[in-house]
A = this chain, B = another copy of it.
């Protein structure tokens, strides 16, 4: 019954795509590289330029990975939830974090896998194949994100985001929950909070959605999809 910290680590790591196919012995050696860390809302996990001693897997809570410019603006690169990993590239190549990461909820628990993992990698082709594949997927995801951020208009980005959210209900009347505060969602979509607010208002007036706090009813998915990949 006693649930050790190592059990938590084991459970979190095993759920990762990288590690699902590993045999027990190798997997335990990975677990031995890891420790559990806990963060509070708004607590910094690492900063741009810090020495990259570990990569992370989200056990619970959520994390924002972002870049900041000298003039104080920032751009969200990733938003991570339970079961997702981040910062592998920093550990596996240059050894410094190229971005900032901050916890968004209290508590946010992360499994930190440190540099001993690199040694494992060198001796284990199966492990490196898994990592290659997972990094490749991540790359493809970033290419998507480039498209989202630079081709699409603000309404298209929002509609696209809403339609990708896990939904409940029938095809013509979906109900979704926003996983972020609206101001954080705005940051993720690279728009001002005011713009987000105005868009939701407009669509509600047109009968496309209904909005109550973080719960949205998508009433006309047909038109929303059209907005998502054409343009408003």
Bound-complex Cα distance A180 to B125 (A)? 40
Residues of B within 8 A of A134 (CB): 93
Instruction: Tell whether A138 is near chain B: CB-to-CB under 8 Å.
Output: yes
Tell whether A77 pairs with B151 under 8 Å between CB atoms, given A93-B140, A129-B121: no
Q: Count identical subunits in the complex.
A: 2
Instruction: Tell whether A70 is near chain B: CB-to-CB under 8 Å.
Output: yes
| CB-CB contacts below 8 Å: A154-213 with B | 190
Interface size on A, residues (CB 8 A): 48
Q: Bits for A116-154, please: 1 = Cβ < 8 Å to B, else 0.
A: 000001111110110111111111101111110111100
Q: Across the interface, do B69 and A137 meet the contact criterion of CB distance under 8 Å? A: no
Instruction: Tell whether A230 is near chain B: CB-to-CB under 8 Å.
Output: yes
Identify A136's interface contact among B123, B135, B147, B231, CB under 8 A.
Answer: B135
Identify A135's interface contact among B70, B94, B135, CB under 8 A.
Answer: B135
Instruction: Tell whether A89 is near chain B: CB-to-CB under 8 Å.
Output: yes
Residues of B within 8 A of A33 (CB): none
Tell whether A70 pairs with B230 under 8 Å between CB atoms, given A93-B137, A125-B122: yes
User: A interface vs B, CB < 8 Å?
Assistant: 67, 69-71, 73-75, 77, 88-90, 92-94, 98-99, 121-126, 128-129, 131-140, 142-147, 149-152, 190, 229-231
